[in-house]
C-alpha cells in the first residue's frame, strides 16, 4: 500500500510517499526558515500562508520523486495534531481534498506519535529499525513537547514524565533568540557548542528527581538563568558566546538524561527510542549511545524534525487496522493525553 503523507504542523511544508509503512519512496521537506528568521521564531500567520502557497508544489514533488502517478496512491495520511492551528488546517484541508477527489481512504494522525515511529522507516536500502520491539522507553523532544513515555505499540503510549514548564526545544530557541545567536536556535547552539567550553558556566539543574516528579523535567529555570547571564556576559570578556552555548547545552542534556535514566531504572526498560527535532542534538546522541546498559535508537538526522515520511509510515498501520478518519475531522493544537497523570 502506497501512502501519501502530509505534514504542516509548524514551519516545514512536507509531503512524502511511503510503501507499506516502511519504505520511503520520497520525502520532501521544505523549510520556511528564511521567512521566520527575522523574528527569531516561527510567526504562525506567515507559516500558514506559506503552507497554502507551497503545499501543492511540495506534494507534486513528492509524487515525482516517488516515480508514481496520482492514481498509484492508495491512501492519504496527514498530521491533524498537535501544532499551530492555522498551519495544521492547511495540510489537513489539502489531504482531505486529495482523498475525496481520488476517493481513497484518509487518516488524520498525531505527529508526536509519528516522531516515535521514525526509526521504523527504511531510508533507501537501509533499514533503520534493527530489532526494536515494544515495549520501549520513548523520548519525545521537540519545540513544543518533552515527553518520557512507555511505548507498548505505535499508538499506545503511557506518559511517565513531561516538562512542568517549557519544552527543551523551546529553551534552545529562546536562549538563541535572546543572545542573537541565529535561527533556528537548536541547530545553531548545537554547532556553536562544538567550539565552546561546557564548564565555563554552571547553570542550575532543577531539583525534580524525587517522588511524583522523578521522570519530569523543567527548562524555565535554566532558560532564565542563561538569559540573566547576558548582562554579565556583555561586560565580561574572558568567555565566548560558544562557552554560553556549550554550558547551556550540557545542562539541558543533563536534565533530560537524569529523568530518562530514572525512568529506565524504575521500569527496567533498556531500549530507548528518541524522536523530535531535539533528537538531532549531537551531545544528546553522543551521551545516550555511549550507555553500555542501554540501547538507544535515534532516527537519522533528516527524520528527527518534522517530516511527512513518518506520517505516511504510521498512517499505514491505522489503515491496515481498517481505521479511517471522517472528512469532518478537524485540527487540534494541543493533545490532552500528553499530560502526565499524577496519583
Task: State the binding partner of 187 from Zn ion, ligand KG4, none, CB within 5 to 8 A by kind.
Answer: ligand KG4
Q: Does 306 bind Zn ion (CB under 5 A)?
A: yes
* Helix 44-66, helix 85-102: angle, nearest 10: 30
> Which residue blocks in the chain are alpha helix, DSSP H?
33-36, 44-66, 85-102, 111-117, 168-179, 185-193, 220-228, 230-235, 241-267, 282-289, 309-320
Smallest distance, ligand KG4 to C-beta of residue 333, A: 12
Alpha-carbon distance of 114 to 25, in angstroms, equals 17
Is residue 173 a contact point for ligand KG4 (CB under 6 A)? Answer: yes
Measured CA to CA, the distance from residue 117 to residue 261 in angstroms comes to 21
Contact residue for ligand KG4 among 5, 86, 161, 186 (CB under 6 A)? 186
Name 38's Cβ contacts closer than 8 Å, sequence gap at least 6.
none
Question: Is residue 143 a contact point for ligand KG4 (CB under 6 A)?
Answer: yes
Q: Please report whether residue 110 would count as binding Zn ion according to CB under 5 A.
A: no
What is the smallest separation between the CB atom of 286 and ligand KG4, expressed in angstroms?
12
The count of other CB atoms within 10 Å of the CB of residue 330 is 12
Query: Shortest distance, CB of residue 169 to ligand KG4, whole angstroms?
Result: 3
Tell me which of ligand KG4, Zn ion, none is bound by residue 169, counting a contact when its beta carbon lies within the kind-specific cut-off of 5 to 8 angstroms: ligand KG4
How is residue 132 annotated by DSSP? -
Q: Fill in the per-residue mask, 272 to 311: x = in contact with ligand KG4 (CB under 6 A), - = not in contact.
A: ----xxx-xx-----------------------xx-----
Q: Which is nearer to ligand KG4, 27 or 281 (CB)?
A: 281
Q: Which residues, numbered 122-151, are part of the site for Zn ion (CB under 5 A)?
A: 142
Amino acid at each position: 500500500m502506497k501512502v501519501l503523507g502530509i505534514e504542516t504542523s509548524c514551519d516545514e511544508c512536507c509531503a512524502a510517499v511511503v510503501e507499506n509503512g516502511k519504505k520511503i519512496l520520497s520525502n520532501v521537506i521544505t523549510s520556511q526558515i528564511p521567512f521566520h528568521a527575522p523574528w527569531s521564531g516561527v510567526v504562525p500567520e506567515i507559516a500558514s500562508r506559506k503552507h497554502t502557497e507551497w503545499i501543492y508544489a511540495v506534494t507534486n514533488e513528492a509524487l515525482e520523486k516517488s516515480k508514481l502517478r496520482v492514481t498509484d496512491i492508495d491512501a492519504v495520511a496527514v498530521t491533524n495534531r498537535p501544532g499551530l492551528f492555522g498551519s495544521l488546517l492547511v495540510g489537513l484541508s489539502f489531504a482531505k481534498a486529495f482523498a475525496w477527489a481520488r476517493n481513497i481512504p484518509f487518516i488524520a494522525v498525531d505527529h508526536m506519535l509519528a516522531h516515535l515511529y521514525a526509526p521504523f522507516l527504511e531510508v533507501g536500502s537501509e533499514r533503520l529499525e534493527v530489532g526494536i520491539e515494544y515495549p520501549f522507553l520513548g523520548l519525545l523532544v521537540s519545540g513544543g513537547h518533552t515527553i518520557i513515555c512507555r511505548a507498548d505499540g505505535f499508538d499506545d503510549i503511557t506518559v511517565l514524565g513531561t516538562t512542568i514548564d517549557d519544552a527543551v526545544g523551546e529553551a534552545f530557541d529562546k536562549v538563541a533568540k535572546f543572545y542573537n545567536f541565529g535561527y533556528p536556535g537548536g541547530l545553531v547552539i548545537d554547532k556553536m557548542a562544538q567550539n565552546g567550553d561546557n564548564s565555563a558556566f554552571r547553570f542550575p539543574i532543577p531539583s525534580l528527581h524525587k517522588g511524583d516528579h522523578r521522570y519530569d523535567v523543567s527548562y524555565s529555570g535554566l532558560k532564565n538563568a542563561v538569559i540573566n547571564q547576558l548582562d554579565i556576559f556583555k561586560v565580561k570578556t574572558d568567555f565566548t558566546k560558544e562557552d554560553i552555548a556549550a554550558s547551556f547545552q550540557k545542562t539541558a542534556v543533563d536534565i533530560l538524561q537524569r529523568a530518562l535514566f530514572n525512568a529506565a531504572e524504575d521500569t527496567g526498560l533498556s531500549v530507548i527510542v528518541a524522536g523530535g527535532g531535539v533528537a538531532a542534538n549531537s551531545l544528546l546522541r553522543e551521551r545516550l549511545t555511549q550507555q553500555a546498559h542501554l540501547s538507544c535508537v535515534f532516527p537519522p538526522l533528516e527524520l528527527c524534525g518534522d517530516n511527512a515520511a513518518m506520517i505516511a509510515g504510521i498512517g499505514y498501520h491505522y489503515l491496515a487496522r481498517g481505521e479511517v478518519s471522517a472528512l469532518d475531522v478537524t485540527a487540534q493544537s494541543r493533545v490532552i493525553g500528553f499530560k502526565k497523570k499524577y496519583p
